[in-house]
Amino acid sequence: MNPKTLKYILKRLVLAVFTVWVVITVTFFVMHAVPGGPFVGEKAVSPAVQKAMEAKYGLDKPLFTQYTTYLTDVIQLRFGPSLKQRGRMVIDIIGDGLKTSARLGIIAACFALVIGVVLGSVAALRRNTFLDRLIMVLTTAFVSMPSFIMGSLMLVLFSVRLHWLPANGTTAAGLIMPVVALMLSPMSYITRLTRSSMLDVLGQDYIRTAKAKGVSHWKIIFGHALKNSLIPVITYFGPMLAYIVTGSLVVEQIFAVPGIGRAFVSSITNRDYTLIMGTTIVLATFIVIMNLVSDILYKVVDPRINLE
């Protein structure tokens, strides 16, 4: 690895760490601006109990001390107890939800990638045919459709009207609709990305050279064209995961999937501040890391790209 690449990676790493720090800091101070602070129960408590609570959670200390304590706690993944789910730690709730959400997200991401690349390549190889136009029209419609709209519409059609699929996302069959709702928009974007970059690659000289040398049609497509046209797709990897994470917040709500998104949304309606803080920080860190990975991968894979 050349020093320039190394320097770039280091620079991005520093930026990512800084971003995560900003996220934690913003979360901390935003939550402190909320009147009453994060540790306010639904019932009115006596001043003595309030004092004891504040002392227990260190709320009586100066703001800066609280902040540094919180920072060290967060680094060790200690987000404290949930305010509304008695006796449960925030990190356990997040951990439980993450299992379901990760499965949902990974399935959606994989489907989006595979189907998107296949459709995009087909559209590019059959350019200006009916198939190409059909794919482009459909992806144009899907790409700007919010996942919660997609999810709700599917719920109406397949579950309420046709009774084909369960409305509840706890079973395996129930995961079909949430996955489709989450993947349609990224899939459409990948299709369009693959199509345009494939068309670009197919016009390159090295494809003509390969053809002239007598390389077989399929070998050109898989060995030369597809490999090179997938490079721009790498850049979309990070944003796609960010989209799926934010999308799953509402999609899990619609289909009652017991994931981290549903925990997050209910924590907002319940004013469960420690859970809001914990979930925001965990998800934000995940998105920042994924963006970092996708950007670095992109620069490493394609040596032509200028690192400035």
Partner 1 sequence: MDASNLKRMSAQINVDDFLPASEEEKEYMVKMRPSTTAFKDGIRRLKKNKIAMISFWIIVIITLSAIFVPMFWPYKYEAMLGMTPGKPVDSSFKNLKPFEYSSTEQALISEGGKVFPHIFGTDANGRDYFIRVVYGTRISLAVGFFASIIVLVIGLTIGAISGYAGGKVDMIIMRIVDIIYSLPDMLMVILLAASMKVTLAQKLEGTVLAKIGTNIISLFIIFALLYWVSMARLVRGQILSLREQEYVLAAQAAGAKGGWVIRKHLLPNCISVIVISTALQIPSAIFTESYLSFLGLGVNAPMPSLGSLASDALNGINSYPFRLVIPAIVISLIVLSLNLFGDGLRDAFDPKLNG
Which stretches of the chain bind partner 1, using CB under 8 A?
15-16, 18-19, 22-23, 26-27, 30-31, 33-35, 140-141, 143-146, 148-149, 152-153, 155-156, 160-161, 242, 245-246, 249-250, 253-254, 264-265, 268-269, 276, 280, 283-284, 287-288, 291
The tokens describing 92, both together, are: 């356990």
Nearer to partner 1, 63 or 141 (CB): 141
State in angstroms the smallest separation of the CB of 5 from partner 1.
19
Dist. CA 300–CA 81, nearest whole Å: 42
State in angstroms the smallest separation of the CB of 144 from partner 1.
5
Q: Strand, helix or coil at 59?
A: coil
Q: For the chain, where are the alpha helices, taking DSSP H only? A: 3-33, 47-56, 63-75, 90-125, 130-143, 147-154, 176-202, 205-213, 217-219, 226-229, 231-254, 260-270, 273-301
Find the distance separating the first CA and the last CA of the chain, reported in whole Å.
Answer: 16
State in angstroms the smallest separation of the CB of 226 from partner 1.
25
Does residue 87 come out as left (phi exceeding 0), alpha (psi in the -120 to 50 range) or beta?
left
Nearer to partner 1, 33 or 212 (CB): 33
State in angstroms the smallest separation of the CB of 305 from partner 1.
17
Nearer to partner 1, 71 or 268 (CB): 268
State in angstroms the smallest separation of the CB of 270 from partner 1.
11
Nearer to partner 1, 221 or 260 (CB): 260
Degrees to nearest 5, angle at CA 198 with 195 and 202: 140
Nearer to partner 1, 76 or 144 (CB): 144
State in angstroms the smallest separation of the CB of 249 from partner 1.
7
Tell me whether residue 31 is exposed, middle or buried, using C-beta atoms within 10 angstroms of its C-beta: 0 to 12, 13 to 18, 19 or more: middle
Nearer to partner 1, 147 or 224 (CB): 147
The tokens describing 253, both together, are: 């709500």
The tokens describing 73, both together, are: 């706690």
